């Protein structure tokens, strides 16, 4: 696909030669062909976006992004270039409109429209090439003629020049790599001569590679490969995949024979057709090695190879240039100028050095020659390049750039097709399966409204060509359901009746009035997004099915980019600068996750450092630069890319850290920007817990009580369940167990399913920022108190906002309002929705808002109403939930709440067996269950299995709760116990084949009490039994053992310490039970005592910190929970207190709080005024909190 620039919507001409000379001098055209970004991890010191913008500013004709065996940064560079082009074109259009207004008589101030794209950026002006667009002609062509002030004409001309430069700029896609020498490959020699100066770079399909296999170069070969077209990009991706899949995560292994030997693993990559090659010679290589490398390249690539001449102002530049010129003359491989670029500006040199030190794991002072001797590895001014390089070497760069005619826009996703059986088209098969599912969903007959929605969706799906996509997701879900794996689609897919009938989602859009345009629209040229949650403990079965069904060459997970945050940047930069490791760790521990990296300077004096010292200032500066830098690629939580053919020709694939996993080199944002399909196969712990709980309880459905209980058998609108929710008794309940949700439930008082939909969505940054919570709650309270519904401007508003009492809470409501009240098309409404989600990042919401305001006022709505709607829209930029998402989650809220309400023991057992998941630790779950009269029994080798089980009305903890216990040993215990009960610890050790480690951890967990008595006695017998088992043959003739030694039982305090150390919880007592007398003497009340107090009372409370939360919308406020033996207390910590007592806020395990008790109905919390760290009272008994979960 060509990158030839489209015709601009304005006329331009050439600059007068005198003006060009004056402004730019006699500058050569140049394209940088060797440039790495920070996606060459811990080497490149600039983001791809920075490199693109800087190259344009310097007037480059193109830039090749050539990260090491990677194209991970190319999507961002591509998007950055497209964005720059759009911005410059829009700036020109606005400028032309301004000139027209001025020509019509408007003053400059009145004509000014606050152009956000400042044309006074001197560097960007350099983007005008010497043969570029014309200022003089622009002045002549402008609508103002002589009536417009010259400064505005000159400004317009500069914008024209910048726009043409951006349109003509080429982004080349390539990669740098090292080819090692291999063994046992064919040999041959390169022959032939080539005229360096007359040679033209061909963009046509290259000839076949030479038949002979060239001799390998023992020292290895460093290359840059550039894709000429779509075929070349596919070859490049395949080669990178080959090297990455051979090696562990983060590395690659490529050999010279991979692209030179016809018998190689991927023979079609021989000679790398449709790619151009640049040999990167070692600066210190001897002439013979250089000649051998060039001859090998000439033999492999023919005329598609150049030698990179890199002159970086080092001491041997002249000698290096002489050598390469001689090699070029001898081998016929021409020279081309490149810059070995690692950063966009020279000021990034200190950061580049720090990255080198981090990569080597050494302080800067020990890196020596590994550090670059100067800052020349940046994008340099063309004047400087013209003084350093031969003009012909510079000219070659532009010829190469022009020969590379590939853009990522050429990529087209092709869906898997094998799911369609013979005799069907994709449309007919999708229709058949959907209607079959509809018959099951609607056993009494499919309603006409549903049939009409199905037909509408079928038509749009067929028009957009998405049938294979739906069938692919359907195939995955069908497999999971066939294996008994709970799953449920969510997100925008819940807007689709087709998805509902295919059992991809569980919410009927027809019942909840969801908006299909949120999922698919005619105007949006990208695939829909379907997220499906699976049980987290069984999702791997689904993932491996996908690999088996489609093959690893066609399916892989999307990447997730792991970036530096404040703490990791502080630690790595501090070590690189050689700062005392103890001080670095203190600073890191004192840095809260929400703070930027430079804030530590304000507190640095506490650690014995001068905040004004150059070293500390440099530390802060480098941390600020490093934050947000890529650290490495990880795997997405479940986003799968599945292709019809080889996925590795679309994007490189590499090994993940997890066994049997592979990932592509682009993340979800890259895929979205390129319009590529991703199917989200996500993990949800609550689905695991629900499936486990349902297996333990009787079926409540009277129609078939003998069948296993299913989610659909649970009765709807259960009063007891809603009573429990209204009291915020929701520890362990899906989505409504957080501090914020527990505070909202008593205020919202949910009594039906749709109330839960609102509850899930309203405690989100979007509704909070949009100011929607208080108006909604006030109207809800008014309706509850008076029975009167709000009045609406008209029926349209009532139909759209009536279900949320006139307050827009969901994105779909704003979209529907735009369609019904403002006359937007579904596609325009979807663009408005997308701008909501990205307005802080992209800043393009205003134009959509302006259009909405104009349309609403034109249709008779008051401007104040339109402005209020737009204000609320901005709130959705902070992660407002779509209604479809909330509707899907609300079902799980209700099901999990019903189980907790009616079967609390099964609920606890299921949660314990589903760990890790949820908001609360197992200790907190057990404490909460105890308050609901659920008994928990300790692990015991005579009855416990690996997992926890119901034992009558109690929960018997499984051996998996024992820290250090191995599942294989637990299973051996179970098998041996089935034969006959254990008679003693020795019998257990011998028959279950336990080693010293196994028996020690069981004794430490008090799991041998039935066989050996208390913990001390058990430990003694366990060690004796382990010794006897290990030396059975030696002890066979020994005298009989003496009777068991009677040891004193440990005290309760020691038992609690040992319980927490081995189980992470204790069933004997709450830790504060032992401290209650002492705490009471210090004036601390219990949670039970506080609950009885009136509003406004000054109180003192103390508890183990179980939760710390700092929502992004809370302006620095932290919400915490402290727990004692009688319950929990919610604590609010205002920002000034957080800053004043940050050590206590962040570090205390046992926290004393002095403050004001606030109570309003069922909403109770403690406003903290002073904090006391009482952690020393716990000794070794420290329970971990769920911080900022």
Give the three-class secondary structure for 595.
Answer: coil
Give the pLDDT confidence score for residue 911 in this predicted structure.
96
pLDDT of residue 1171: 94
Cβ pair 815, 806 in contact under 8 A: no
Residue 963 CA, distance from chain mean position: 31
Distance CA 325, CA 804 (A): 76
3-state secondary structure 528-564: CCEEEEEECCCHHHHHHHHHHHHCCCCEEEEEEEEEC
Question: Distance between CA 520 and CA 511 in Å, rounded?
Answer: 19
CATH 3.30.1900.20 residue spans of the chain: 426-561+637-686
CB neighbour list of residue 939: distance below 8 Å, 6 or more residues apart:
956, 957, 958, 959, 961, 962, 1005, 1006, 1007, 1063
Alpha carbon distance 444, 412 (integer Å): 43
For residue 662, the surrounding DSSP H or E stretch is strand 662-667
b/e 264-288 (16+ beta carbons within 10 angstroms → b): beeeebbbbbbbbbbbbbeeebeee
Peptide bond into 916 cis (omega under 30): yes
**Where along the chain do the CATH 1.10.10 domains lie?**
562-633
In this structure, is the dihedral angle defined by the CA atoms of residues 281, 252, 35 and 38, taken in order, positive or negative? negative
Helix, strand, or coil here: 29?
A: coil
Distance CA 737, CA 916 (A): 16
- Pair 1040, 1017: CB distance under 8 Å: no
Distance CA 747, CA 752 (A): 15
What is the radius of gyration, based on Cα positions, of the chain?
35
Helix residue spans in 1082-1117 (DSSP H) = 1087-1091
Instruction: Say which residues have a Cβ less than 8 Å from residue 90's Cβ, sequence separation at least 6.
Output: 117
- Divide the 1189 residues of the chain into consecutive groups of 10 and give the mean pLDDT of each group: 45 42 66 98 97 96 98 96 91 83 70 47 41 44 54 83 91 97 46 34 47 75 97 97 92 93 82 96 90 94 96 92 95 96 97 97 93 96 95 97 95 85 94 96 91 90 88 94 92 81 85 63 69 92 92 91 91 93 84 60 74 87 93 87 91 90 91 84 93 93 85 92 94 88 89 92 63 81 87 86 86 81 79 61 62 86 81 60 83 96 96 89 91 93 94 94 93 93 87 88 88 79 70 49 62 81 86 90 93 91 86 71 89 89 86 91 86 85 52
What is the second-level CATH architecture of the domain 1071-1187? Beta Barrel (2.40)
Distance CA 651, CA 70 (A): 9
pTM: predicted TM-score of the whole model, two decimal places: 0.83
Backbone angles phi, psi at 593, to 5 degrees: -65, -30
Tokens of 927: 């404490």
Tokens read off for 914 = 């589903």
Burial of 231 (0-12, 13-18, 19+ CB in 10 A): middle
Q: Sign (positive/negative) of CA torsion 383, 388, 389, 390?
A: positive
Distance CA 671, CA 915 (A): 32
CA angle 619, 624, 627 (to 5 degrees): 120
In angstroms, rounded to a whole number, what is the distance separating the alpha carbons of residues 1174 and 1178?
8
What's phi and psi for 678, nearest 5 deg?
A: -135, 130
CB 235 within 8 A of CB 189: no
Cβ-based neighbours of 927, under 8 Å, separated by 6 or more: 1070, 1123
Pairing of strands 335-337, 305-309: parallel
Summary count for the chain: helices (H), strands (E): 47, 23
From the CB of residue 778, how many other CB atoms can be counted at a distance below 10 Å? Answer: 12
The CATH number assigned to the domain with range 905-1034+1046-1063 reads 1.10.150
Stated length of the chain: 1189
Residue 879: φ, ψ to 5°: 65, 40
Give Cβ neighbours of residue 747 (< 8 Å, ≥ 6 apart): 777, 1161, 1163
How many angstroms separate the Cα of 1144 from the Cα of each of 813, 1147, 1149? 44, 5, 9
Cα separations in angstroms, 139 against 87, 143, 224, 446? 21, 9, 44, 67
What gap in Å lies between CA 894 and CA 717, rounded to an integer?
A: 9
CA distances from 1162 to 346, 727, 1091 (A): 61, 7, 10
Query: Do 1056 and 1065 form a contact (C-beta atoms < 8 A)?
Result: no
User: What is d(CA 650, CA 628) in angstroms, rounded to the nearest whole number?
Assistant: 27
Q: Are 913 and 948 in contact (CB under 8 A)?
A: yes
CATH code for the structural domain at 426-561+637-686: 3.30.1900.20
Residue 1034 vs residues 816, 993, 1027, 1037: alpha-carbon distances, Å = 83, 18, 11, 7
Domain with CATH 2.40.50.140 in the chain: 1071-1187
**Dihedral angle at the C-alpha atoms of 625, 631, 636, 642, nearest 10 degrees?**
110
Q: Pairing mode, if any, of strands 662-667 and 653-655?
A: antiparallel
With residues binned 3-state (H G I as helix, E B as strand, rest as coil), the percentages for the chain, rounded to 5, are 50, 15, 40
418: helix, coil or strand?
A: coil
CATH fold of 562-633, please? Arc Repressor Mutant, subunit A (1.10.10)
């Amino acid at each position: 696909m060509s990158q030839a620039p489209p015709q601009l919507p304005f006329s331009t001409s050439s600059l007068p030669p005198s003006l060009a000379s004056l402004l730019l001098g006699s500058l050569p055209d140049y394209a940088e062909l060797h440039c790495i970004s920070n996606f060459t991890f811990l080497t490149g010191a600039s983001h791809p976006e920075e490199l693109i913008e800087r190259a344009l500013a310097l007037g480059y004709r193109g830039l090749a992004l050539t990260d090491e065996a990677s194209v991970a940064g190319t999507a961002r560079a591509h998007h950055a270039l497209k964005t720059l082009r759009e911005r410059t074109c829009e700036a020109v259009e606005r400028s032309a409109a301004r000139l027209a207004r001025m020509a019509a008589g408007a003053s400059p101030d009145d004509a000014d429209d606050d152009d956000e794209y400042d044309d006074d950026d001197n560097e960007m002006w350099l983007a005008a090439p010497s043969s570029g667009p014309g200022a003089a002609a622009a002045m002549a062509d402008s609508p103002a003629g002589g009536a417009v002030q010259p400064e505005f004409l000159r400004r317009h001309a500069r914008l024209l020049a910048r726009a043409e430069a951006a349109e003509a700029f080429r982004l080349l896609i390539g990669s740098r790599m090292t080819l090692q020498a291999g063994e046992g490959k064919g040999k041959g020699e390169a022959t032939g001569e080539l005229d360096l100066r007359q040679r033209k770079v061909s963009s046509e399909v290259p000839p076949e590679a030479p038949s002979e296999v060239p001799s390998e170069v023992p020292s290895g070969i460093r290359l840059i490969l550039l894709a000429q077209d779509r075929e070349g990009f596919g070859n490049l991706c395949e080669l990178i995949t080959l090297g990455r899949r051979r090696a562990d995560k983060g590395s690659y292994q490529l050999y010279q024979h991979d692209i030179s030997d016809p018998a190689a693993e991927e023979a079609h990559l021989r000679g790398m057709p449709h790619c151009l090659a640049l040999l990167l010679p070692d600066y210190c290589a001897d002439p013979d090695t250089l000649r051998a490398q060039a001859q090998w390249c000439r033999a492999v690539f023919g005329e598609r190879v150049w030698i990179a001449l890199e002159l970086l102002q080092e001491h041997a530049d002249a000698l290096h240039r002489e050598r390469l010129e001689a090699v070029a003359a001898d081998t016929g491989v021409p020279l081309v100028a490149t810059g070995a670029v690692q950063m966009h500006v020279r000021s990034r040199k200190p950061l580049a050095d720090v990255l080198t030190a981090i990569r080597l794991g050494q302080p800067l002072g020990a890196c020596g020659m590994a550090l670059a001797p100067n800052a020349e590895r940046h994008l340099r001014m063309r004047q400087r390049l013209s003084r350093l390089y031969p003009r012909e070497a510079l000219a070659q760069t532009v010829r190469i750039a022009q020969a590379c005619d590939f853009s990522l826009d050429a990529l087209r996703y092709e869906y898997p097709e094998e799911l369609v059986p013979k005799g069907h088209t994709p449309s007919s098969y999708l229709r058949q399966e959907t209607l079959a599912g509809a018959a099951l969903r609607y056993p009494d007959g499919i309603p006409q409204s549903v049939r009409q929605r199905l037909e509408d969706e079928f038509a749009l799906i067929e028009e957009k060509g998405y049938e294979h996509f739906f069938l692919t997701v359907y195939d995955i879900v069908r497999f999971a359901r066939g294996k008994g794996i709970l799953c449920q689609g969510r997100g925008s897919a819940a807007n689709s009746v087709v998805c509902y009938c295919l059992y991809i989602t569980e919410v009927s859009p027809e019942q909840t009035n969801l908006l299909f345009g949120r999922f698919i629209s005619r105007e949006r040229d990208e695939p829909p997004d379907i997220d499906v949650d699976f049980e987290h403990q069984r999702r791997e079965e689904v993932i491996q099915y996908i690999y088996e069904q489609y093959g690893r060459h066609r399916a892989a997970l999307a990447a997730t980019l792991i970036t530096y945050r404040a703490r990791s940047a502080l630690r790595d930069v501090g070590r690189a600068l050689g700062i005392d490791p103890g001080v670095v760790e203190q600073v890191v521990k004192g840095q809260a996750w929400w703070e930027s990296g430079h804030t530590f300077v304000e507190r640095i004096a506490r650690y014995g450092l001068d905040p004004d010292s150059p070293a500390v200032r440099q530390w802060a500066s480098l941390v600020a630069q490093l934050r947000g830098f890529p650290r490495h690629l990880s795997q997405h939580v479940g986003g799968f890319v599945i292709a019809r053919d080889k996925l590795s020709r679309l994007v490189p694939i590499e090994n993940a850290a997890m066994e049997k996993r592979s990932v592509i080199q682009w993340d979800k944002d890259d895929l979205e920007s390129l319009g590529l399909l991703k199917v989200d196969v996500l993990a949800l712990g609550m689905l695991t817990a629900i499936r486990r709980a349902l297996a333990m309880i009787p079926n409540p459905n009277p129609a078939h009580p003998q069948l296993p209980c299913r989610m659909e058998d649970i009765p709807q609108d259960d009063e007891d369940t809603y009573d429990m929710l209204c009291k915020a008794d929701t520890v362990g309940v899906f989505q409504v167990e957080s501090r914020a949700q527990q505070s909202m439930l008593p205020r919202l008082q949910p009594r039906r399913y749709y109330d839960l939909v609102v509850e899930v969505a309203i405690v989100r940054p979007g509704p909070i920022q949009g100011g929607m919570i208080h108006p909604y709650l006030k109207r809800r309270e008014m309706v509850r108190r008076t029975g009167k519904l709000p009045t609406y401007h008209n029926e349209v508003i009532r139909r759209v906002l009536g279900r949320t009492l006139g307050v827009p809470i969901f994105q779909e409501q704003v979209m529907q309002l735009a369609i019904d009240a403002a006359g937007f098309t579904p596609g325009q409404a979807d663009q408005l929705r997308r701008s909501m989600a990205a307005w802080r990042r992209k800043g393009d919401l205003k134009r959509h808002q302006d259009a909405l305001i104009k349309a609403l006022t034109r249709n008779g709505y008051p401007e104040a109403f339109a402005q209020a709607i737009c204000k609320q829209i901005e709130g959705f930029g902070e992660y407002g939930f779509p209604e479809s998402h909330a509707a899907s989650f609300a079902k799980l809220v209700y099901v999990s709440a019903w189980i907790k309400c009616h079967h609390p023991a099964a609920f606890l057992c299921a949660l314990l067996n589903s760990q890790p998941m949820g908001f609360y630790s197992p200790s907190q779950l057990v404490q909460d269950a105890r308050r609901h009269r659920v008994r928990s029994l300790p692990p015991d080798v005579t009855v416990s299995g690996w997992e926890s089980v119901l034992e009558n009305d109690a929960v018997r903890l499984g051996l998996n709760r024992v820290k250090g216990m191995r599942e294989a040993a637990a299973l051996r215990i179970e098998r041996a116990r089935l034969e006959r009960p254990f008679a003693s610890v020795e019998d257990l050790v011998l028959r279950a084949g336990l080693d010293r480690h196994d028996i020690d951890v069981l004794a430490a967990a008090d799991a041998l009490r039935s066989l050996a008595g208390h913990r001390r006695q058990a430990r003694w017998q366990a060690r004796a039994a382990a010794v006897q088992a290990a030396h059975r043959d030696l002890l066979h003739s020994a005298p009989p053992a003496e009777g068991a030694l009677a040891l004193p039982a440990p005290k309760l305090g020691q038992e609690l310490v040992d319980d927490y150390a081995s189980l992470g919880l204790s069933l004997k007592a709450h830790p504060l039970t032992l401290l209650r007398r002492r705490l009471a003497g210090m004036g601390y009340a219990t949670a039970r005592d506080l609950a009885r107090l009136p509003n406004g009372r000054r109180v003192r409370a103390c508890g183990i910190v179980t939760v710390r939360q700092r929502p992004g919308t809370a302006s620095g406020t932290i919400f915490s929970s402290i727990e004692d033996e009688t319950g929990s207390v919610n604590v609010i910590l205002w920002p000034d207190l957080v800053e004043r007592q940050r050590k206590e806020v962040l570090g205390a395990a046992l926290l004393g709080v002095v403050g004001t008790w606030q109570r309003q109905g069922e909403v109770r919390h403690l406003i903290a005024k002073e904090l006391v760290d009482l952690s020393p009272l716990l000794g070794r008994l420290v329970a971990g909190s769920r911080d900022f979960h």
